[in-house]
Amino acid sequence: MKLTMFKSKLHQMKVTEANLHYEGSITIDTELLDKANLLPYEKVQVVNITNGERLETYTIPGEAGSRVCCLNGAAARKTEIGDRVIIISYAEMAPEEAEDFKPTVVIVDENNDPKTVVDETGYATKYDLETGIVDNTVIKETDSD
């Protein structure tokens, strides 16, 4: 038996572009993909915090350092520039592997700069959307270089 588990996410990404005339996908800064343990062309779920829309697509690597988050093709109709989204990936694994697996969660600021990497699965009880992380025992600051 395989379980589908939450693997990683970019949390609170701000949509910087929407390109209706591209064939599809979501373009994300390569540095952010790496930090969130996401691969180019990996299937992701995009959850729009601003309007409640949800969609599935795949990642396309964007220019490193650009902090781009661009919904392409039909997905561009489900978002507006400035919307906040969560980009989530999942992985299939055996139950014994899943028991010890810890997802990667990268929380970004208003400029899509990574601010924290949550390294504990208990973060949900520690995170407040209004104020951000409220218990620093579950996070580590990201490197600024």
Q: What is the 3-state composition of the chain as percent helix, strand, coil, each rounded to the nearest 5?
A: 20, 45, 35
76 vs 135: which has the higher pLDDT: 76
pTM over 0.85: no
Query: Active-site residues: which are they?
Result: 25, 58
pLDDT band at 126 (very low <50, low <70, confident <90, very high): low
| Interval 67-92: pLDDT, tens | 999 999 999 999 999 999 999 999 99
Task: Find the helix or strand (DSSP H, E) in which 62 lies.
Answer: strand 54-62
What is the Cα–Cα distance from 67 to 90, expressed in whole angstroms? 22
Q: Answer for the pair 33, 39: CB distance below 8 angstroms, yes or no.
A: yes
pLDDT at 59 over 50: yes
